[in-house]
Amino acid sequence: MTITIYGIKSCSTMKKAFTKLDDLNIDYTFHDYKKQGIDKDSVQRWVDLLGLDKVLNKRGTTWRKLTDEQKQAADADVNTAIGLLLENTSMIKRPIVEGLHDEQPILLCGFDADEFDKAFA
């Protein structure tokens, strides 16, 4: 089983996800955007599979600090939005959990305890 959880170490939502994975006895690797960055292929894959609305966190302070022009450009063009996500990893909804569990692909975005239970049952 290879599960990677992507996010930011100090995020309270991430702490809930770590605890849940530990409670479920799931081995995982943590990828910290702040320290390790993120590659375009990963962000593109997440947006393709989950949709931009799911991956882009518009509720956080980083989104709110963007100019109106940047927000409009991101809303109008997915490639522009992906570029902003790469530059501002805090705008990627946390956590992203990706990998294989019992040979089944897993891709979760955001923390929902019930979704974690279902995915790792």
The runs of H, that is alpha helices, within the chain are 12-23, 33-36, 40-50, 52-55, 61-65, 68-76, 78-87, 113-119
Label residue 93 exposed, middle or buried (CB < 10 Å: 0-12, 13-18, 19+). buried
Is residue 105 reached through a cis peptide bond, with omega within 30 degrees of 0 on the bond before it?
no
Q: Which residues are catalytic?
A: 11
